[in-house]
Amino acid sequence: MSGRTRWGIVGTGGISRATVGDLHLAEDLDLVAVASRHEQTAAAFAAAHEVPRWYGDVDALLAADDVDVVYLCTPIGTHADLARRALLAGKHVLVEKALASTADEARSLAALAAEQGRFLMEAMWMRFNPAVRRVLADVADGRIGEVRSVRASFGFPPPPGTAPWQPGGGGALLDMGVYPLTLAHLLFGVPTAVEATGEVRADGVDLTASVFLRYGDDRFAALLTSLRSVVGAGADIGGTDGAITLDAPFFATGSLSVLSASSRRPDRVELPLEGNGYVPMFRAVAEAVADGLLEHADRPLRDTIAVLDTIDLVRARLLAAAQV
């Protein structure tokens, strides 16, 4: 395939509404269809957001010949099944975070995508955010010396009226903790030790997790996520010669500051977002698919699966402590 790719959105909820404008903004892709489980909802979304075609049935969109890439914007507990159906229908698939509910589900999807010769990626827009890219480049250049610590948090209670989390459908860790955990993995890789404490609902849904990751030396990451209270959304990366602070929300920020050990005031860096901040990811995926790639080099499936492995371990620690 070369040139423009044709995209279809599955789901018409919060993230579909947040990203549809950015899909229109991204070059090299055409948003051609949306699918909902309900005809009226699909039609209303298509009319409100200038999407040419709509389907009141997800499988009808998956069967459409003129859709190349399916963007799954449905609840986490549906991702594994819908992504599998989309891949089997021959589509390239971009899946909202978290890619799946467990690392094993994600491994199965990765194997299927390879077998089908189709692109698959978790929509980890943080990896394509210009400020986060700047941090990774600065760290690689040694701007803050040797990085020793990551501190990051993200969490807030669900707004009244939103659907409660279901067992197997993701809790705080998959819904919000995935960002702090991904940031730690981007900077340090796979931890050698995982400690966690938190709060788990009686049915096993994780509500709060305070996570401490070690890396076989003195480096560590201290991470916090919660569905029970607002725990902030900042991130600090500490090094031997300085520190970088990503302003909240760190995974979608337009600004950061760099404090060096020798200066009293941090250097401010502003990197404004395009649209709602999803454009760089959509552009990167569209280019990768058009180039015939099955994964994006900046967000390969093995990295996504490694984060899910850590989340599985953290969840197991919480469940063991709660004796659920």
Ligand X SMILES: NC(=O)c1ccc[n+]([C@@H]2O[C@H](COP(=O)([O-])OP(=O)(O)OC[C@H]3O[C@@H](n4cnc5c(N)ncnc54)[C@H](OP(=O)(O)O)[C@@H]3O)[C@@H](O)[C@H]2O)c1
CB 133 within 8 A of CB 231: no
Check binding of 78 to ligand X (CB under 6 A): yes
125 touching ligand X, by CB under 6 A: yes
Residue 169: is it exposed, middle or buried by C-beta count within 10 angstroms (0-12/13-18/19+)?
Answer: middle
As measured in angstroms, the least distance from the Cβ of 251 to ligand X is: 8
Q: Give the Cα separation of 58 and 93 in Å (integer).
A: 14
In the three-class reduction of DSSP (H, G, I as helix; E, B as strand; rest coil), residue 158 is classed as coil
91 a catalytic residue: no
Q: Residue 229: left if φ>0, alpha if ψ -120 to 50, beta else—which one?
A: beta
Number of residues interacting with ligand X: please give it, by CB under 6 A: 22
Q: Does 206 bind ligand X (CB under 6 A)?
A: no
In this complex, which beta carbon is closest to ligand X, that of residue 73 or of residue 147?
73
75 binds ligand X (CB under 6 A): yes
Of 84, 97, 143, 315, which is the active-site residue?
A: 97
The answer to whether 315 and 321 are in contact (CB under 8 A) is: no
* Least distance between ligand X and beta carbon 205 (Å): 14
Among 5, 12, 116, 182, binds ligand X (CB under 6 A): 12
Min dist. Cβ of residue 190 to ligand X (A): 23
Is 305 within 8 Å of 110 (Cβ atoms)? yes
| Residue 36 contacts ligand X per CB under 6 A | yes
Query: Which of 6, 13, 134, 232 contacts ligand X by CB under 6 A?
Result: 13
How many CA atoms lie less than 13 Å away from 209 in the CB half-sphere? Answer: 35
Q: Supply the minimum distance, in Å, between the C-beta of residue 276 and ligand X.
A: 8
Annotate 72-137 with DSSP letters as a single string. E-S-HHHHHHHHHHHHHTT-EEEEPSSS-SSHHHHHHHHHHHHHHT--EEE--GGGG-HHHHHHHH
Q: Which is nearer to ligand X, 149 or 276 (CB)?
A: 276
- By CB under 6 A, which span of 69-77, 179-187, 212-220, 229-237 interacts with ligand X? 69-77
Among 7, 8, 9, 15, binds ligand X (CB under 6 A): 15
Q: What is the DSSP letter of 173?
A: I
Residue with tokens 């959105």: 9
- Which range binds ligand X by CB under 6 A, 70-78, 136-144, 217-225, 226-234? 70-78
Catalytic residue ranges: 97
Q: Which residues bind ligand X (CB under 6 A)?
A: 11-16, 36-38, 41, 58, 73-76, 78, 96-97, 123, 125, 163, 175
